[in-house]
Each structure stands twice: as structure tokens, then as C-alpha cells.
Structure 1
Amino acid sequence: MDLQVLRSFQAVAEGRTVTEAAADAHITQPALSRALNRLETEVGAELLQRVGRVLRLTPAGRVFKEYVDAVLDSYDRGRRAVAEVVDPDAGMVSLAFLHTLGTWLVPKLVTGFSHDFPGARFELHQADENGLAQHLLDSSADLIITSKDPAHPLITWRRLLVEPLWLAVPARHRLAQRRRVRLAEVSQDHFIVLKSGYGLRSITETLCRQAGFSPLVAFEGEEVETLRGLVAAGLGVSLIPVSPGAATAPETNPDLPIRYLEVTDVHGARDIGIAWLASRTLPPAPRRFIEHAVRVTAVPEGAEGTGA
């Protein structure tokens, strides 16, 4: 059984046309069709059936694909492990992370690691909180950087840092001239939040409950910059993550008339950590990246907290 045929079967099963899969494999479409037919003969069942103009998995095909995915993943990881034995300073780090960490933490970690190990390569994925754990469980990522412990029996999580959360209000808001605020003071304001499934959404709801109210959600977004923009437009307030170490309110973008207020009645912060599958032996590059992330984010001895 040819691994390339399995890859082509996998591609077609995931939505590629036979023509596209054949082009990927650098063979003709009729040649790939014959190869897929031979695969079905070897397996002893019809794996794909035509529905309109596309091929869909049969029940037998769905079962077979699970094993094909596992075989190809194991083979690719084996090749990768051998390559890293041959060249220990190279290797691949497959990393998934929260959207909100793509603006400061992940670039910082990746840049520093690449400086120390210029032969290393990265495969990066963004996801919401729920999707991050799945990246580990289906082996599409070695590591995840997340805002909370996934609390999954198969996943090991290590805290890296604490990220402050500040209350963003429009520049014309009644509290805009303040430096600090109790979250309870905006219990009647409209809140702008991320959609359900994002870690920042659940943390916002938790902090509001701790302050004695449920947030009045006016708008939902998918990016923190969207939250900032809607706050600037005067449509509500929002809890915004801030790079740790900021001892004062974040700098205000002159194009976004926003004021940031420190929250005093609840612990306005979230944990940021790195996680991996407990049962999996990580290749050298991801193991080194964990060590790098822990070292870079370590609070210096004598440092005064995290800024919030």
C-alpha cells in the first residue's frame, strides 16, 4: 500500500477533488482514480461514493480514514524524529495559541527561539479556548498556549505568567477621567465581549459575577482589536488583556479614543500557560521551546507583581 495513495485518499475524504488531489501528488487524475480503486480492492470495501459532483466517504470509508490519519501522523512524526536526531538544532515546533496572544506573547517567544535555534521551523495555529485542547488531542499541534488549564486528564499544563485585564471605556465615558474603577460601577453598562468559546469571554463573565452582576452583552467579536474599535465608537465597555509588566494604564492609540482603568474589586487578570500531551514523548524542538517559554516569561527575582 502506497503512502502517497493514502495521502490522496485522505485529501479527497477531507474535501479535495480527485483532480486537485492528483495535482498535489503530481500524477494524472485517471491514475489517481485507478489507485483509489485499487485501495478499495485491498481494503475490501467501497470507501468513497459519488454524490453529485463530489466524492463522499461511505460508512466503511469513515472508519478507514481514522486509521489512515493515525498511520500518516505516526509516519510523519517518525520522519520528524529521525530528522531531529540527525540535526538536533533543527526541528519543527507545531504551536497553537489563543488569538489574543498573537499580538505580543507568541511573536516574542517565536522570535527569541528562532534567534537561539535558527534551524528550527514553526507551524502555527490560532484557535479559541475550546479548539486549543483539540489540537493536542488530534496531534495537529505539539504545544498550546492558553489562558487556563484545560483540566483534561491527558494534558499537562504549566503556568507561564499572569496577564492583567483592564477595563476599556470610551473617552467620553463618565468614568474616563478615573485611573481605577470597581467593576461593579459598570454593572448597568453595555459590554462588548468575544464570542462564546473564547477564554476572554468566560473570564469576563466570571469576573462580572464576582462583582455581583451579569454583563449586559451588546456586541460580540472574534478579535480583541474589534473590541477596542467598538469601545472607541462608544458602544460599550470591555475587559481588555494587557501585556504584563505595565505598571500604568496602557498607552492610548490616538486613533482610538479609549481610556483604560485598573479594576480594583475583583482580580482583573488571567493565567497564561503552555500545555502538551502527558502521554506523548515530545521531540527535542518542542521540549526546548517549553524551556525557552518558561525562561523568557519568568518573573525576575524581586519584581513587583505583574502590573495589575
Structure 2
Amino acid sequence: MAIALDQLRTFVAVAEAGGLTPAAETLHLSLPAISRRLTALEEELGVALLTRSTRRVSLTQTGREFLPRARRLLDELEESLLGIRETAAQRRGLVVLACIPTAAYYFLPATLAAFARRFPAVRVRAMDLSAEGVTDAVATGAAEFGVGMEGAAHPEVEFRPMRRDPFVLACRRDHRLARRRAVRWADLEGERLVGVSRRSGNRLILDRALLPRGISPHWHYEAEHLSTSLGLVEAGLGLAVVPRLALPRDPHPVLVARTLTDPTVDRATGLLLKRGVEPGPAARALIDLLAKGMRGG
């Protein structure tokens, strides 16, 4: 049996439209072409599927029974072809993502290694940006998706939180506060604190949590990047308040982190996607890997 796909599509279109003329308009075919396809399908099946008259077309009993089967065949074929196209797209091309530095340091290396094993031909461009820069890159389409934090809101960008991490006190091992397991914000009175720029998303989170409680830390130094803040602490210039993710993974010979309480402040880190825009197949695969890493990291 040699039933052609165009014959099935024509039969379904005629059945749904209720006539040859509207089906011909939908398929952009002539009436003779429609008739030829229908006749060829009925001859191949050996049964009549349609009853034709000068004004309308109706389904025979066999045609009514065959219609859902024809629809199902076409749907299954479309899904199969889509899967093949997506699989092919996943195995080549370029994925562009924007990422805040702390998330890039903690989650990207292992995630990209796993992604490269599955899709070795797909290139990845990672844009290392501030939280606001990540949001802007996703909003403008410069990046297919982003890894950032809460706070940098944009009407065209959706934020999906994946994990929460506390702000901690980073100090030298020889500092007096390093002997404590936890430090209260009140204990920082009189200390030289290293903060991040007022433009930073981390600074915004801290200000929103602390100022309503009457806590206004004295930031003696301000830096644009968390890595710079830690460098100043390592040099003995002060103490820094940073997200735990900003600290080295392995024990540091000079720096230690201590829990900050009264209050405890944390931040959400997650994925940023442009509303109404579906990432490509390769980007979706990378997003899935990143989401798993962020939830389990």
C-alpha cells in the first residue's frame, strides 16, 4: 500500500473544511489537484471516504471512522520530524548565555563539561556580566538566557529562582571575629567593612533587608566586584559581606567565612528567560543541566 502524506493531509483538510473549495484555499491547491489526491487515496484504500455533490462534501461511515486515524498519523509524523530536527539542532550551533560571576565560577565549569560530552559540536559563549547586565542581555536578545539573581527586574524578563544562598562575613583567619561560629550585624560596629558598589544587585538586597531594621553598615571601602572585595580582606584592609558563593570552593589559607545573624540575609539565584521567547533546543539542554547543578550545588 502506497498512501502519500499529501493525500492524507488533503483528506483531513477537506473533512475539516466541509468542502473542496475551502480546503483548496487552505492548502493553496487547485480543485482538480484536490480531487486527484482524494481519488488516489480512495483507490489505494479500496473504499469511498467522501460523498461528493455539486454543493457539498460529506464523509461516508468509513470516512468518519478513518478521519481520527488520519489525524493521529499526521500528528505522530509531525512530532517525529520535530524531534529529529531538534536533535540535529542540539548537536551543532552556538548557545549564548549571560551569567553573574559567582554563578559562573560555581556552576558553569561542571555544567559545560557535561554539556560538551553530550553535544561536542555546540559552541558556548558565556558573557560574564553584572546582575543588571545579565538582565539587559536577556531582554535585548543578546543572550538566549541568563543566570542571575533576584532584584534586577525587567518587564520582558522572567526570573525563575533555583537556590538561595546566605550573605556571610569574610574575614582573615587571624581576625578576632574568626574565632566565632556566628557574628551578629551589631558586632560589626566600628569595623572597617568592604562593600560593593551601590549599583550592585547584592548591595540592593542588603539595603532592602537592613535599612528597615535600622542597620546602616559603614562601608569604608567599596568595590565593583566581589573578587575585589575579597582581595582587600585578604590584604587585611577590612571585613567583607558577600554571598557564600563568592568564596573559594576549597579551604583558603587566609580567608574564612562566618555566619551573619540578626538578621540573616540571603539572595535567590536562578535563570532569566525572555518572556514569550522559546530558547533553541541546544539552549534548552544547557538550561536543564544548569538547573540541576544549581539545585544540587
Q: Aligning the two structures, in what range does the TM-score lie when normalised by the shorter sequence?
A: 0.5 to 0.7
Q: Structure 2 vs 1, CA of residues 126 and 242 (structure 1 numbering), >3 Å: closer, same or farther?
A: same
Residue aligning to 1:143 = 145
Answer yes or no: is 1:280 the counterpart of 2:277. Answer: yes
Match of 2:132 among 122, 125, 130: 130
Residue aligning to 2:165 = 163
SS of equivalent to 2:273: strand
Partner amino acid, structure 2, of 1:265:
D
Q: Structure 2 vs 1, CA of residues 103 and 86 (structure 1 numbering), >3 Å: closer, same or farther?
A: closer
Q: Deviation digits for residues 116-156 of structure 1, max 9, x if unmatched?
A: 32222111111112211110122110111111154322112
User: How far did residue 251 of structure 1 move?
Assistant: 5.2
Residue aligning to 1:70 = none
Answer yes or no: is 1:230 the counterpart of 2:265. Answer: no
Partner amino acid, structure 2, of 1:213:
I
In the alignment, the residues of structure 2 paired with residue 192 and residue 211 of structure 1 have an alpha-carbon distance, to the nearest angstrom, of 20
User: How far did residue 88 of structure 1 move?
Assistant: 3.2
Residue aligning to 1:64 = none
Is the contact between residue 107 and residue 294 of structure 2 (CA under 8 Å) also seen in structure 1? no
Is the contact between residue 231 and residue 237 of structure 1 (CA under 8 Å) also seen in structure 2? yes
Is the contact between residue 169 and residue 231 of structure 1 (CA under 8 Å) also seen in structure 2? yes
Unaligned residue ranges in structure 1 (runs of 5+): 1-82, 300-305
Residue aligning to 1:9 = none
Is the contact between residue 142 and residue 282 of structure 1 (CA under 8 Å) also seen in structure 2? yes
| TM-score (norm. length: structure 1) | 0.61
Is the contact between residue 205 and residue 215 of structure 1 (CA under 8 Å) also seen in structure 2? no
Q: Structure 2 vs 1, CA of residues 109 and 282 (structure 1 numbering), >3 Å: closer, same or farther?
A: same
Residue aligning to 1:174 = 176
- Number of matched residues? 213
Match of 2:288 among 258, 276, 291: 291
In the alignment, the residues of structure 2 paired with residue 220 and residue 234 of structure 1 have an alpha-carbon distance, to the nearest angstrom, of 15
Is the contact between residue 95 and residue 141 of structure 1 (CA under 8 Å) also seen in structure 2? yes
Partner amino acid, structure 2, of 1:272:
T
In the alignment, the residues of structure 2 paired with residue 192 and residue 145 of structure 1 have an alpha-carbon distance, to the nearest angstrom, of 25
User: How far did residue 170 of structure 1 move?
Assistant: 3.1
What is the root-mean-square deviation in Å for CA atoms of aligned residues?
Answer: 2.7
Partner amino acid, structure 2, of 1:193:
G
Whichever structure has more helix as a proportion of its residues is 2
User: How far did residue 219 of structure 1 move?
Assistant: 1.5
Residue aligning to 1:90 = 92
User: How far did residue 192 of structure 1 move?
Assistant: 0.8
In the alignment, the residues of structure 2 paired with residue 108 and residue 241 of structure 1 have an alpha-carbon distance, to the nearest angstrom, of 20
The percent identity for this pair of structures is 26
Partner amino acid, structure 1, of 2:274:
L
In the alignment, the residues of structure 1 paired with residue 114 and residue 205 of structure 2 have an alpha-carbon distance, to the nearest angstrom, of 29
Unaligned residue ranges in structure 2 (runs of 5+): 1-84
Q: Structure 2 vs 1, CA of residues 174 and 208 (structure 1 numbering), >3 Å: closer, same or farther?
A: farther
SS of equivalent to 1:238: strand
User: How far did residue 235 of structure 1 move?
Assistant: 1.7
In the alignment, the residues of structure 2 paired with residue 193 and residue 267 of structure 1 have an alpha-carbon distance, to the nearest angstrom, of 17
Q: Deviation digits for residues 253-282 of structure 1, max 9, x if unmatched?
A: 22x3x3321112222321100011112122
SS of equivalent to 1:298: helix
In the alignment, the residues of structure 2 paired with residue 149 and residue 205 of structure 1 have an alpha-carbon distance, to the nearest angstrom, of 12
In the alignment, the residues of structure 2 paired with residue 288 and residue 158 of structure 1 have an alpha-carbon distance, to the nearest angstrom, of 16
Match of 1:215 among 201, 217, 237: 217
| TM-score (norm. length: structure 2) | 0.63
